């Protein structure tokens, strides 16, 4: 998959007047927090109108070992996914697509005749966003 995928997938840029939308990036389960850090690092120069935030919803539980030792377990709620609130543009897409830990975008099925191309990303709709817990609250940094 050498070269730019944006044009080959015929992705349309999000309308600036619509603001940002939620997208999902798939990764290997267990590296979500590493991918989250990579996403934030490589998009730090993008304007907030294009990249609003990246989220990995987590659940924290407190358990104790003995009398005084407390341990906080951090468990990722949706293994294998990083949520992105972005405006999909060619620059944002290509930057995130090139990350080593990112496997693919959740989106449409592959186009007929293009089996080797990854799916084109589509935003989550309002109902889907409501189903995912932890997107709007404070999450793992």
Instruction: Check residues 1 and 58 and name the one with the higher pLDDT.
Output: 58
Helix 32-42, helix 90-97: angle, nearest 10: 140
Instruction: Give yes or no for a contact between 108 and 31, defined as CB atoms under 8 angstroms apart.
Output: no
**Whether pLDDT at 141 is above 50:** no
Q: What is the pLDDT of residue 1?
A: 43
Q: What is the pTM of this model?
A: 0.83
Q: Which residue has the higher pLDDT, 134 or 42?
A: 42
List, for residues 55-114, the tens digit of each pLDDT value: 999 888 887 777 777 777 788 889 999 999 999 999 999 999 899 999 888 876 555 555
CA dist list (Å): 30 to 9, 62, 95, 115, 128: 29, 20, 22, 27, 23
User: pLDDT-based confidence at 8, cuts 50/70/90?
Assistant: confident
DSSP letter for 129, please.
H
The mean of the pLDDT values for the chain is 83
Query: Which pLDDT belongs to residue 133?
Result: 79
């Amino acid at each position: 998959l050498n070269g730019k995928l944006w044009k080959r997938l015929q992705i349309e840029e999000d309308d600036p007047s619509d603001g940002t939308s939620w997208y999902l990036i798939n990764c290997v389960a267990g590296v979500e927090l590493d991918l989250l850090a990579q996403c934030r690092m490589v998009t730090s120069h993008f304007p907030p109108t294009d990249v609003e935030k990246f989220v990995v919803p987590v659940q924290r539980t407190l358990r104790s070992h003995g009398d005084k030792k407390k341990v906080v377990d951090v468990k990722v709620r949706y293994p294998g996914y990083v949520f992105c609130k972005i405006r999909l543009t060619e620059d944002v897409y290509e930057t995130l697509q090139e990350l080593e830990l990112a496997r693919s975008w959740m989106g449409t099925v592959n186009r007929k005749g293009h089996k080797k191309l990854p799916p084109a990303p589509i935003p989550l709709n309002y109902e889907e966003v409501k189903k995912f817990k932890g997107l709007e609250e404070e999450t793992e940094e």
